[in-house]
Amino acid sequence: MKFWRTPLDVDKLKIPRGELHIIKERCKGCGFCVEYCPKGVLQLAAEFNSKGYHPPEAVKPEECVNCDLCEMLCPDFAIYCVRVEEGEKEVTQ
């Protein structure tokens, strides 16, 4: 993790981890999550869903910090993130 300014309690900080859930069939391929994920976790997949859109896929799932921005920006309730404790992390699609 890169900091703008190293926090004084950096040794005590725990970076949150998120587990992404993508409900592919609900996606309309707007790309809001891909564009605004601060960690560049997502990209639009090459595959299509049954409506003919490209849903997002996690290319760097281990980078997700559970900020929930993708979940909040998604207009179709198609992605959400759940906080996990270290070690339990996985990505479901």
Q: What residue ranges bind other proteins (CB under 8 A)?
A: 21, 23, 26, 28-32, 35-36, 53, 69, 71-78, 80, 82, 90, 92-93
Distance from C-alpha of 64 to C-alpha of 56, rounded to nearest angstrom: 14
Rounded to the nearest 10°, the torsion over CA 66, 68, 70, 76 is 130
Residue 37: which of other proteins, ligand SF4, none does it interact with, CB under 5 to 8 A by kind?
Answer: ligand SF4
List the interface residues with ligand SF4, window 3-62 (CB under 6 A): 18, 20, 37-39, 41-42
Q: Which residues bind to ligand SF4, rule: CB under 6 A? A: 18, 20, 37-39, 41-42, 64-70, 81
